[in-house]
């Protein structure tokens, strides 16, 4: 029996042994799997943290404002620029990012900035003003400074479909109060625990049990970072466990400072439309329009308060709630010894200090210009690089010009709608402003609501350009001085042209009136269609098309007679390109929005330099610029001088299309070129001509800019003569009907007209002139 | 008759009488005295109702910012840092695009970078602006000759 029992026992042992073996095996297998998983998890934690942490959108910057004696900048304009850059107005500027104002002076402590051509150091300077220009610029030691640049403004970004933006900061950049505040409020044991705080968890557990709900999280900063950086927002036990393990792994590999710096850049702190604001660097600019280094204590506390819930504590929508949270943060900071209690009390008395809701879109409110930047960037960069590599794109965008353009666009369109009884909201407009000579696009308005990122008419609305094409017809003729001069008599009478399709093209003048024989310059100055059509048919369509292309148009053009009167459709930007070649004396320079591109690490990547190519003879350009001045002095654009100074030399051309569906004006001074289009999106009729519509806005805009006169130098090969305008023969000064006109040498008339005096009279005239009789 | 009398009085008054030869015999008609053009200011404009050309006068004399930038650009040019030189002189171009020396610096940079086509175009753009600035005009012309000889 006993033997039997002993055998059974042995059998039982034998039976139990394989089970234990299996359990052991399973145990070790689990350990192995666990270890492997841990290793895999560790690899994930390590690789993501040491690799490229974020996809960074590219940021787009404006031009840098140049300050120098004689700069066309008023005190108010400088203050506006400084406000836009987030400078703080104080009684006396003592640190970067501050300025003070007296009646005729502004003292600025600039911020330094690394430009393509060198570093601009931070410095204290005083600017004095006379009228609308800078009359003096001295440094702190009262030594004159020839030139200083302010840093450019960030005007927007290029984002992927999932819009998330951040501006990376380093721990050393941050105010010590910010670091102290975050640790004091979010994780007081941060520097003691190893990723997970069991004390914190216990405290949160007790608090949650007491309140009967999830009131506290108990997560350390490291866990919060893991959750945001590696995991998702799900509240499951598995996720929590994973979070804890990964937090420990993170702490094994990386220093507290590395973790904290990543946290400062990762954390979600707000929402601007569909753009998520991440990190304290960007949040500082978003809420206070200033770099994080310049934050004051009450602002630091507000941002730290937002970590708990950026939407719930939104300072614009819930200012009271936000203020309470901010004050709580300040109290905690004082309790934890980050600041003195007195400092906390002082900071609590301050208002929230966030920028006004209208200004907060500062860096995202120029969508039309950004469209142009993106379009030009796409020629050199992949969309994915632009959206993820954090490039820094420096442009020629001038916020001062843009502001004036936008303001005037809105008011002029509204007044035209009222004045001409156009249905509200029906009239649209678009405009481009370019710096003459440099070919830099300074401002773009894509519609009557400039800040609205809708259809960009300045770039994408191709509308018949009407008479704004006519300079190309006249230039084609003037390039043949043996046949055409400004005084050549051309016929402004009805004309019929048969087309290939069998139709007959019969252009009419806008006023339905013919003018008979007229001098060539008058055909352009008064925009006579019949005269232009006749001239165009004589010089030939292929030659005109060639001229339009040399002016800078890159598309295809139909060889149709109606082309001569502007049946070809172009965008305002394309028209600006043509007119810039005219303004730049026949030198074609591609219009540029971008100045240079830097990597996220501030390494220069590419510059977009000025280029020029001579496409027309300077003598021909002198003639066409003369005729375009006639437009504004006497012709269809003369109303401009009702509001612009008489001594300002301007040139330009109106354009009106059939049934007044499009109203255009393109014109320039010595330093600015602007093109304006007005019309309806549904291509409906309007009561506007180029002169009554677009020209009015053009005049508005030009009247706000610091225009210099067009430099109308007499080039070699050009001479001026008095000519009778009704005969084209030589005339005389003072004789009715005589006009002082430029001619390409050898093309001037040789036959004397009725005004030319007999030889003796000439001598007397000469003597009279000499003696001043 | 009225005219003859005027001439006589004037010539007497100015003391030029001996210089005037009597009009006698077949003489070619005197040339039409050039009508003095309307006076123009620097930037051209309108005299009465007449559009007139401007006098080519470099404006830089009054702008120390442009002078400083051009000077800096030459310094970078001499150091062989042509990209930086161009970046600097483009700032001057923004302030005053009618200064011919700006084009001279840029053209010199591109010439050094053997971008001859662009260098030539820039010289051609600067030349009409040089006007009375004989030094810059001479330098532009010299550079143009060099470019053409290399091409």
List b or e across B69-101, with b for residues whose CB sees 16 or more CB atoms inside 10 angstroms: bbebbbebbeeebbebbbbbbbbbbbbbbbbbb
Instruction: Please answer whether residues A447 and A455 qualify as being in contact, where contact means their C-beta atoms are separated by less than 8 angstroms.
Output: yes
Considering only CB atoms, which chain B residues are within 8 Å of A626? 51
At A42, list the tokens. Answer: 């560790």
Instruction: Please answer whether residues A546 and A488 qualify as being in contact, where contact means their C-beta atoms are separated by less than 8 angstroms.
Output: no
Q: Please classify residue A83 by burial: count the beta carbons closer than 10 Å to its beta carbon, then call 0-12 exposed, 13-18 middle and 19+ buried.
A: middle
Which sequence spans correspond to the domains of chain B? 80-150
Rounded CA-CA distance A351/A368 in Å is 34
Phi first, then psi: give them for residue A166, nearest 5 degrees. Answer: -155, 155
Which of A749, A771, A773 has its CA nearest to residue B32? Answer: A749
Instruction: Please answer whether residues A177 and A297 qualify as being in contact, where contact means their C-beta atoms are separated by less than 8 angstroms.
Output: yes
Instruction: Please answer whether residues A271 and A277 qualify as being in contact, where contact means their C-beta atoms are separated by less than 8 angstroms.
Output: yes
Assess A119–B contact: CB distance below 8 Å, yes or no: no
Q: Please report the domains of chain A, with CATH numbers, ordered by start residue.
A: 64-151 (3.30.2060.10), 167-348 (1.10.3810.10), 466-567 (3.40.710.10), 718-771 (no CATH)
Q: Which residue has the higher pLDDT, B27 or A7?
A: A7
Q: Which of residues 534-553 of A touch B (CB under 8 A)?
A: none
Considering only CB atoms, which chain A residues are within 8 Å of B87? 115-117, 596, 607, 609
Rounded CA-CA distance A395/A142 in Å is 33
pLDDT for the residue A218: 72
Which of A652, A648, A615, A583 has its CA nearest to residue A437? Answer: A583
Considering only CB atoms, which chain A residues are within 8 Å of B43? 649, 670, 708-712
pLDDT for the residue B39: 44
Q: Can you tell me whether residue A583 is helix, strand or coil?
A: helix
pLDDT band at B40 (very low <50, low <70, confident <90, very high): very low
Q: Which of residues 743-762 of A touch B (CB under 8 A)?
A: 752, 756, 759-762
pLDDT for the residue B23: 33
Catalytic residue among A186, A261, A406, A522: A186
Q: Please classify residue A535 by burial: count the beta carbons closer than 10 Å to its beta carbon, then call 0-12 exposed, 13-18 middle and 19+ buried.
A: buried
Assess A592–B contact: CB distance below 8 Å, yes or no: no
At A654, list the tokens. Answer: 């109106």
pLDDT for the residue B108: 97
Q: Which residue has the higher pLDDT, B110 or A47?
A: B110
DSSP A226: H
pLDDT for the residue A485: 98
Instruction: Please answer whether residues A673 and A585 qualify as being in contact, where contact means their C-beta atoms are separated by less than 8 angstroms.
Output: no
Q: What angle do CA A723, A725, A729 make, to 5 degrees?
A: 45
Q: Can you tell me whether residue A413 is helix, strand or coil?
A: helix
Q: Please classify residue A5 by burial: count the beta carbons closer than 10 Å to its beta carbon, then call 0-12 exposed, 13-18 middle and 19+ buried.
A: exposed
Rounded CA-CA distance A534/A550 in Å is 22
Q: Find, in chain B, the residue whose alpha carbon is nearest to that of A621.
A: B128
Q: HSE of A381 in the Cβ direction (CA atoms, 13 Å)?
A: 25
> What residues have CB less than 8 Å from A192, skipping those under 6 apart?
none
Average predicted confidence (pLDDT) for chain B? 74
Considering only CB atoms, which chain B residues are within 8 Å of A756? 32
Q: What is the DSSP string of B100-111?
A: HHHHHHHHHHHH
- Closest Cβ opposite residue A712 in set B53, B62, B95: B53
Which of A61, A60, A166, A149 has its CA nearest to residue A112? Answer: A149
pLDDT for the residue B20: 31
Which residues of A303-412 form beta strands (DSSP E)?
392-395
Instruction: Please answer whether residues A773 and B7 qualify as being in contact, where contact means their C-beta atoms are separated by less than 8 angstroms.
Output: no
Residue A633 and residue B129: Cβ atoms within 8 Å?
Answer: no
Chain A: nearest CA to B53, how far in angstroms? 5
Instruction: Please answer whether residues A749 and A729 qualify as being in contact, where contact means their C-beta atoms are separated by less than 8 angstroms.
Output: yes
Q: Per the confidence metrics, is the pTM higher than 0.90?
A: no
Q: Can you tell me whether residue A474 is helix, strand or coil?
A: helix
DSSP A694: H
Count CB-CB contacts under 10 A for residue A283: 25
**What's the fold here for domain B80-150?**
1.25.40
Rounded CA-CA distance A547/A535 in Å is 14
pLDDT for the residue A534: 96
Q: Is A502 left (phi over 0), alpha (psi -120 to 50) or beta?
A: left
Rounded CA-CA distance B97/B95 in Å is 7
pLDDT for the residue A1: 46
Which of B75, B85, B141 has its CA nearest to residue B110? Answer: B85
Number of CB pairs, chain A paired with chain B, less than 8 A apart: 165
Q: Find, in chain B, the residue whose alpha carbon is nearest to that of A756.
A: B32
Q: What percent of chain B lies above the pLDDT cut of 90?
A: 51
pLDDT for the residue A734: 84
Q: Find, in chain A, the residue whose alpha carbon is nearest to that of B50.
A: A740
Rounded CA-CA distance A317/A319 in Å is 6
Length of chain A: 773
Interface predicted TM-score (ipTM): 0.84
Rounded CA-CA distance A297/A344 in Å is 8
> What residues have CB less than 8 Å from A689, skipping those under 6 apart?
A510, A636, A654, A656, A660, A663
Which residues of A478-568 form beta strands (DSSP E)?
489-492, 497-498, 504-505, 516-519
Model confidence pLDDT, tens digit, residues A92-147? 999 999 999 998 899 999 999 999 888 999 999 999 999 899 999 999 999 999 99
A186 as an active site residue: the answer is yes
Residue B43 and residue A436: Cβ atoms within 8 Å?
Answer: no
Model confidence pLDDT, tens digit, residues B121-151? 999 999 988 877 689 999 999 999 999 998 7
Q: Find, in chain A, the residue whose alpha carbon is nearest to that of B94.
A: A438
Q: Which residues of chain A fall short of a pLDDT of 50?
A: 1-2
Which of A464, A433, A465, A436 has its CA nearest to residue A446? Answer: A433
At A660, list the tokens. Answer: 């007044």
At A324, list the tokens. Answer: 């309470």
Residue A609 and residue B122: Cβ atoms within 8 Å?
Answer: no
Instruction: Please answer whether residues A83 and A393 qualify as being in contact, where contact means their C-beta atoms are separated by less than 8 angstroms.
Output: no
> What residues have CB less than 8 Å from A19, skipping those under 6 apart?
none
Model confidence pLDDT, tens digit, residues B57-93? 544 445 889 999 999 999 999 999 999 999 999 999 9
Q: What angle do CA A133, A95, A62 make, to 5 degrees?
A: 50
Considering only CB atoms, which chain A residues are within 8 Å of B54? 649, 709, 711-714
Instruction: Please answer whether residues A272 and A286 qualify as being in contact, where contact means their C-beta atoms are separated by less than 8 angstroms.
Output: yes
Chain B: nearest CA to A389, how far in angstroms? 24
Considering only CB atoms, which chain A residues are within 8 Å of B6? 764, 767
Residue B37 and residue A610: Cβ atoms within 8 Å?
Answer: no
Q: Can you tell me whether residue A277 is helix, strand or coil?
A: strand
């Amino acid at each position: 029996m006993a033997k039997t029992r002993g055998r059974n026992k042995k059998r039982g042992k034998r039976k139990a042994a394989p089970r234990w073996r299996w359990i052991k095996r399973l145990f070790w297998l689990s350990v192995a799997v666990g270890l492997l998983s841990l290793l895999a998890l560790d690899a994930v934690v390590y690789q993501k943290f040491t690799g490229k942490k974020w996809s960074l959108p590219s940021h787009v910057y404006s031009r840098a404002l140049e300050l120098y004696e004689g700069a066309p900048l008023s005190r108010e304009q400088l203050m506006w620029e400084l406000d836009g850059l987030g400078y703080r107005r104080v009684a006396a500027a003592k640190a970067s990012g501050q300025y003070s104002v007296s009646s005729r002076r502004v003292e600025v402590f600039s911020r330094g900035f690394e430009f393509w051509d060198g570093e601009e150091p931070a410095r204290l300077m005083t600017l004095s003003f006379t009228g609308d220009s800078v009359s003096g610029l001295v440094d702190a030691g009262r030594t004159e400074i020839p030139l200083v640049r302010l840093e450019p403004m960030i005007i927007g970004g290029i984002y992927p479909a999932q819009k998330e933006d951040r501006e990376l900061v380093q721990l050393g950049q941050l105010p010590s109060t910010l670091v102290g505040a975050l640790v004091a409020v979010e994780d007081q044991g941060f520097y003691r625990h190893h990723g997970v705080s069991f004390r914190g968890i216990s405290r949160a557990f007790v608090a949650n049990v007491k309140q009967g709900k999830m009131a506290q999280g108990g997560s350390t900063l490291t866990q919060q970072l893991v959750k945001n950086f590696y995991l998702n927002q799900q509240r499951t036990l598995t996720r929590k466990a994973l979070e804890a393990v990964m937090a420990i792994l993170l702490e094994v590999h990386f220093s507290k400072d590395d973790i904290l710096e990543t946290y400062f850049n990762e954390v979600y702190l707000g929402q601007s439309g569909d753009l998520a604001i991440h990190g304290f660097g960007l949040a500082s600019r978003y809420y206070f329009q200033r770099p994080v280094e310049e934050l004051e204590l009450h602002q630091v506390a507000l941002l730290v308060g937002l970590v708990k819930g950026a939407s719930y504590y939104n300072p614009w929508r819930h200012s009271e709630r936000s203020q309470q949270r901010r004050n709580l943060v300040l109290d905690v900071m004082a309790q934890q010894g980050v600041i003195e209690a007195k400092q906390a009390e002082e900071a609590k008395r301050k208002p929230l200090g966030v920028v006004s809701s209208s200004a907060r879109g500062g860096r995202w409110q120029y969508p039309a210009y950004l469209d142009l930047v993106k379009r030009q960037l796409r020629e050199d960069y992949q969309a994915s690089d632009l959206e993820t590599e954090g490039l820094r794109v420096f442009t020629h965008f001038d916020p001062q010009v843009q502001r004036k353009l936008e303001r005037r666009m809105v008011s002029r369109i509204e007044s035209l709608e009222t004045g001409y009884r156009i249905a509200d909201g029906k009239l649209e407009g678009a405009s481009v402003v370019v710096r003459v000579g440099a070919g830099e696009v300074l401002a773009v308005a894509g519609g009557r609501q400039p800040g609205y990122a809708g259809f960009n008419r300045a770039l994408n609305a191709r509308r018949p350009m009407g008479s704004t094409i006519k300079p190309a017809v006249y230039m084609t003729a003037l390039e043949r001085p043996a046949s055409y001069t400004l005084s050549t008599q051309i016929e402004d009478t009805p004309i019929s042209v048969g087309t290939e399709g069998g139709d007959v093209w019969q252009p009419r003048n806008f006023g339905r009136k013919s003018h008979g024989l007229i001098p060539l310059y008058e055909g352009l100055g008064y925009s006579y269609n019949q005269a232009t059509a006749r001239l165009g048919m004589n010089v030939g369509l292929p030659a005109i098309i060639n001229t339009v292309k040399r002016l800078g148009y890159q598309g295809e053009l139909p060889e149709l007679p109606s082309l001569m009167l502007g049946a070809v459709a172009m965008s305002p930007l394309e028209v600006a390109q043509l007119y810039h070649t005219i303004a730049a004396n026949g030198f074609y320079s591609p219009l540029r929005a971008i100045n240079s591109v830097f990597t996220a690490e501030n390494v220069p990547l590419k510059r977009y330099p000025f280029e020029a190519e001579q496409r027309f003879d300077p003598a021909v350009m002198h003639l066409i610029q003369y005729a375009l001045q006639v437009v504004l002095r006497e012709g269809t654009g003369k109303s401009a001088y009702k509001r612009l100074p008489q001594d300002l030399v301007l040139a330009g051309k109106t354009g009106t299309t059939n049934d007044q569906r499009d109203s255009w004006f393109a014109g320039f001074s010595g330093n600015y070129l602007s093109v304006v289009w007005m019309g309806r999106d549904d291509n409906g009729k309007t009561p506007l001509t180029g002169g009554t519509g677009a020209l009015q806005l053009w005049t508005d805009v030009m009247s706000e800019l610091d225009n210099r006169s067009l430099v109308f130098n007499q080039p070699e090969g050009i001479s001026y003569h008095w000519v009778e305008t009704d005969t084209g023969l030589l005339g005389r000064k003072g004789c009715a009907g005589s006009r002082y006109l430029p001619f390409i040498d050898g093309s001037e008339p040789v036959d004397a007209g009725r005004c030319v005096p007999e030889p003796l009279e000439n001598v007397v005239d000469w003597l009279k002139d000499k003696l001043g009789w | 008759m009225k005219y003859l009398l005027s001439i006589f009085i004037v010539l007497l008054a100015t003391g030029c009488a001996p210089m005037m030869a009597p009009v006698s015999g077949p003489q070619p008609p005197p040339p039409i005295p050039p009508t003095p053009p309307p006076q123009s200011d620097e930037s051209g404009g309108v005299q009465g109702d007449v559009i007139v050309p401007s006098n080519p006068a470099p404006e830089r004399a009054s702008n120390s910012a442009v002078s400083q930038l051009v000077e800096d650009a030459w310094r970078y040019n001499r150091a062989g840092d042509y990209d930086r030189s161009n970046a600097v002189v483009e700032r001057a171009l923004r302030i005053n695009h009618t200064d011919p020396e700006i084009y001279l610096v840029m053209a010199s940079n591109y010439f050094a970078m053997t971008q001859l086509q662009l260098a030539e175009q820039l010289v051609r753009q600067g030349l009409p602006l040089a006007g009375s600035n004989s030094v810059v005009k001479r330098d532009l012309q010299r550079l143009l000759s060099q470019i053409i000889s290399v091409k």
